[in-house]
């Protein structure tokens, strides 16, 4: 396998050096089977205040998740205890990213993951059988095909359960005994069929509040998790920083050499922030959109516009193209938002164009594409 050609390597691969440097400098107490101490995991996700020495090299540990340091600290402590961690929130608030970073920091492995869908089965979570072998030899250990929960328990790893509320309720509930007793029973093995969870095993689940499934989750299962609500970032500056950093990473991994245009980032982060909050600096009247105005969408609108500029133009993002991509992002979710988006341009954006001119004027003029 050509590892340079992997589209998106796992966090433990992308940040291999950082993890090694943190390990080499980690003096804090570690829960059993953790790769790093809770302090180390915190630094991995929120950044270290000074470069760390790894051999002769200095390694900078970057901040990866922005906005709520206390939430990250609580999440780490939860995972050291006997309850699972449930990250809930709107789409695009970095729940999956945070889950991946936590698993990479704690277990050095974020790949032990279940993707929840309406079709997720208990076999896919716990274990299934190699049927050819099962028929030939009966239920022998070699015939068992372990699933992510089995592997997590056996190796003492964090197991990730993405979009858990999309799974049927009875599948969700099959986790209850595992979460409380920390044992998995394999009836086919008879008296030998008890598997105990090794220390270090725990579950990080994510759920979107827009899926409306959280209310239906059984209270027995809810009690096995600590819930943390991940909110969208609230500051324009922070959102701009996320857009810049994520797009710089995307450029690097797609082999595109481009500078980030700070003024374009500011236009975009301001737009997302104002349409999400319904409030603008100029106190213009803004109707909040029903579409999810997530930072993840803002990142992709910028990246999309930048690629257009790179491949078809002189490398400078055109506001018209940015607005087209913004429109696409909004319309795929909710067509009723169109008039609200128009109003945003003829209100808040117009005022900014008058006050600041320049790129805001260009942005205001690009409103023609919103039809």
Ligand X SMILES: Nc1ncnc2c1ncn2[C@@H]1O[C@H](COP(=O)(O)OP(=O)(O)O)[C@@H](O)[C@H]1O
CA distances from 44 to 92, 113, 306 (A): 21, 20, 29
Residue 256 class from Cβ within 10 Å (0-12 exposed, 13-18 middle, 19+ buried)? middle
Could you tell me if 351 and 282 are in contact, meaning their C-beta atoms sit under 8 angstroms apart? Answer: yes
- Residue 107 binding: pick among Mg ion, ligand X, none (C-beta 5-8 Å cut-off by kind): none
Least distance (Å) between residue 191 CB and Mg ion: 41
What phi and psi, each to the nearest 5 degrees, are found at residue 57? -90, 150
71 binds, among ligand X, Mg ion, none (CB under 5 to 8 A by kind): none
DSSP conformational letter for 209 = G
161 binds ligand X (CB under 6 A): no
Residues 19-78 within binding reach of ligand X (CB under 6 A): 65-67
- 93, interface contact from Mg ion, ligand X, none, CB < 5-8 Å by kind: ligand X
Q: By CB under 6 A, is residue 93 in contact with ligand X?
A: yes
Partner from ligand X, Mg ion, none contacting 97, C-beta within 5 to 8 A by type: ligand X
Q: How far is CA 122 from CA 169, 175, 197, 207, 302, in A?
A: 11, 9, 18, 18, 40
Pick the binder of ligand X from 40, 44, 95, 124 (CB under 6 A): 95
Q: How far is the CB of 18 from ligand X (least distance, A)?
A: 16
Which residues of this chain interact with Mg ion, rule CB under 5 A? 96
Q: Does 269 bind ligand X (CB under 6 A)?
A: no
Q: Does 299 contact ligand X by CB under 6 A?
A: yes
Roughly what angle, to the nearest 10 degrees, separates helices 236-253 and 295-312? 50
Output 96 or 325, the one with its CB closest to Mg ion: 96
Smaller CB distance to ligand X: residue 66 or 189?
A: 66
Q: Considering only CA atoms, which of 364, 341, 337 is closest in space to residue 352?
A: 364
Q: Which of residues 182-211 bind ligand X (CB under 6 A)?
A: 206
The one-character DSSP state at 32 is T
Q: Which sign, positive or negative, has the C-alpha torsion 8, 156, 103, 63?
A: negative
By CB under 6 A, name the binding residues for ligand X: 65-67, 89, 91-97, 206, 233, 242, 246, 295-296, 299
């Amino acid at each position: 396998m050509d590892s340079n050609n992997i589209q998106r390597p796992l966090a433990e691969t992308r940040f291999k050096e950082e993890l090694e440097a943190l390990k080499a400098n980690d003096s804090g107490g570690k829960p059993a089977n953790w790769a790093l101490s809770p302090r180390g995991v915190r630094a991995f996700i929120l950044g270290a205040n000074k470069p760390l020495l790894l051999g002769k090299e200095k390694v900078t540990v970057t901040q990866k998740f922005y906005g709520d340091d206390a939430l990250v600290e609580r999440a780490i402590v939860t995972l050291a205890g006997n309850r699972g961690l449930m990250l809930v929130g709107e789409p695009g608030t970095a729940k999956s990213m945070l889950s991946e970073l936590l698993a990479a920091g704690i277990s050095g492995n974020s790949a032990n993951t279940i993707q929840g869908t309406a079709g997720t089965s208990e076999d896919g979570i716990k274990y299934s059988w190699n049927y050819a072998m099962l028929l030939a030899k009966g239920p022998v250990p070699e015939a068992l095909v372990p699933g992510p929960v089995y592997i997590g328990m056996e190796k003492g790893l964090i197991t990730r359960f993405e979009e858990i509320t999309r799974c049927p309720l009875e599948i969700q509930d099959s986790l209850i005994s595992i979460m409380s007793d920390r044992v998995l029973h394999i009836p086919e093995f008879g008296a030998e069929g008890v598997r105990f969870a090794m220390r270090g095993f725990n579950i990080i689940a994510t759920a979107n509040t827009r899926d409306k499934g959280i209310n239906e989750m059984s209270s027995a299962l809810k009690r096995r998790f600590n819930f943390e609500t991940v909110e969208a970032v609230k500051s324009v500056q922070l959102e701009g920083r996320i857009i810049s950093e994520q797009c710089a990473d995307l450029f690097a991994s797609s082999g595109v050499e481009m500078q980030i245009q700070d003024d374009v980032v500011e236009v975009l982060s301001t737009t997302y922030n104002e349409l999400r909050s319904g409030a603008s600096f100029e106190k213009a009247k803004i109707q909040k959109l029903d579409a999810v105005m997530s930072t993840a969408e803002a990142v992709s609108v910028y990246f999309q516009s930048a690629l257009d500029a790179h491949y078809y133009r002189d490398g400078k993002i055109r506001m018209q193209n940015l607005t087209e991509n913004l429109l696409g992002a909004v319309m795929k979710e909710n067509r009723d938002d169109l008039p609200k988006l128009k109003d945003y341009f003829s209100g808040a954006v117009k005022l900014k164009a008058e006050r600041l001119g320049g790129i805001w004027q260009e942005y205001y003029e690009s409103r023609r594409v919103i039809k």
